Amino acid sequence: MMKVLVPVLCVLVLLGACDSGEKASGTTTEGEHTELIFSHFFPANHIQETELVQGFIDEIEEATEGRVTFTSYPGGQLADPDGHYEAAATGVADAGFSVHSYTPGQFPLSSVMELPFMSGSGTEGSETLWALYEEFPEVQDEYSDTVPLWLSTSEPGYIFTVDEPVESPEDLQGMIIRSPSPEVNQWLEMMGATPVSMPMGDTYQALEQGVVDGTVGPPHTLVDYGLQELVDYVTVGNFYMTTFFAVMNQEAWDSIGEQDQEAIEKITGENTANVAGTIIDDRAEEAMIAAEEAGAEMIELDDEQLDEWEEEVQPVIDNWIERMEEEGLPGEEVYDRALELGAE
Question: How do residues 108-153 score in pLDDT, each as one tens digit?
Answer: 999 999 999 999 999 999 999 999 999 999 999 999 999 999 999 9
**In the chain, pLDDT over 90 holds for what percent of residues?**
84
Q: Which of 120, 64, 139, 91 is nearest to 330 (CA)?
A: 139
pLDDT score for 26? 39
pLDDT score for 95? 98
Distance CA 110, CA 101 (A): 10
**Span 253-290, pLDDT tens digits:** 999 999 999 999 999 999 999 999 999 999 999 999 99
Rounded to 5 degrees, φ, ψ at 174 are 85, -5
CATH class of domain segment(s) 158-241+287-343: alpha beta
pLDDT score for 251? 97
* Rounded mean pLDDT, 216-233: 93
> pTM of this prediction?
0.85
Q: Which of 324, 325, 265 is nearest to 107 (CA)?
A: 324
Contacts of 13 (CB under 8 A, 6+ apart): none
* Rounded mean pLDDT, 21-26: 40
pLDDT score for 194? 97
User: Which residues belong to CATH 3.40.190.170 in the chain?
Assistant: 2-154+243-283, 158-241+287-343
Contacts of 199 (CB under 8 A, 6+ apart): 41, 81, 102
* Rounded mean pLDDT, 11-33: 45
pLDDT score for 183? 87
**Span 203-224, pLDDT tens digits:** 999 999 999 999 999 999 899 8
- Inter-CA distances, 202 with 55, 198, 223, 323, Å: 27, 7, 14, 30
Rounded to 5 degrees, φ, ψ at 229 are -70, -20
pLDDT score for 31? 54
* Rounded mean pLDDT, 234-255: 96
Q: For 70-74, 92-96, 198-202, which range has the lowest pLDDT when averaged over its residues?
A: 198-202
Predicted confidence band at 76 (pLDDT cuts at 50, 70, 90)?
Answer: very high
Residue 197 pairs in a beta bridge with 179
CATH topology of domain 2-154+243-283: D-Maltodextrin-Binding Protein; domain 2 (3.40.190)
pLDDT greater at residue 75 or residue 198: 75
pLDDT score for 181? 85
pLDDT score for 180? 87
- Average predicted confidence (pLDDT) for the chain: 90
pLDDT score for 311? 93
